[in-house]
Amino acid sequence: MEWKRFLLAVLAAGFVSSITDWLFAGTLFHSKYNAHPEIWRSSVAKSETSAVIWSVTLGFLTCAAFVLTCAIFHINAYRGTLPFAALCWLMIPLPLLVTNALFIKLHPLIVVSHALGWLAKLCVAALAAALFAA
């Protein structure tokens, strides 16, 4: 894979997935975070800028790892990248989120929104891998 195409795929996927993260984790069911306010860090005394920067950075890293994995395993068409994204979602973030929800007081709609956000992020990375990195 050409490094310029890889970089383009990662930048496109990372940018779009940061928007989907904002939609699913920051906007959708936002009021449900107050169902159990004691589990969230207080943002009254401290800015969330550092957490947002880390979250966006890790989102770009996720997209880079996904695109690189597709390249390594020669998964370069939509018919391959999208099912691979769904399988990755079923293997990693979905079980992790559900397991966390079983032991941590999270509103069910927060778990749903975060799970959908992960699925969207992986599908965006899959589309970018097929479109740019092929």
Question: Which amino acid, 14?
Answer: G
What is the C-alpha separation between 33 and 24, in angstroms, rounded? 12
Tell me the pLDDT tens digit for each residue of 83-109. 999 999 999 999 999 999 999 998 999
Span between the terminal Cα atoms of the chain, in Å? 7
Length of the chain: 134
Give residue-wise pLDDT tens across range 42-88. 666 577 788 889 999 999 999 999 999 999 999 999 999 999 999 99
- CA 32 from chain centre, in angstroms, equals 20
Report d(CA 26, CA 94) in Å as an integer.
18
Please state the pTM of the whole predicted model: 0.89
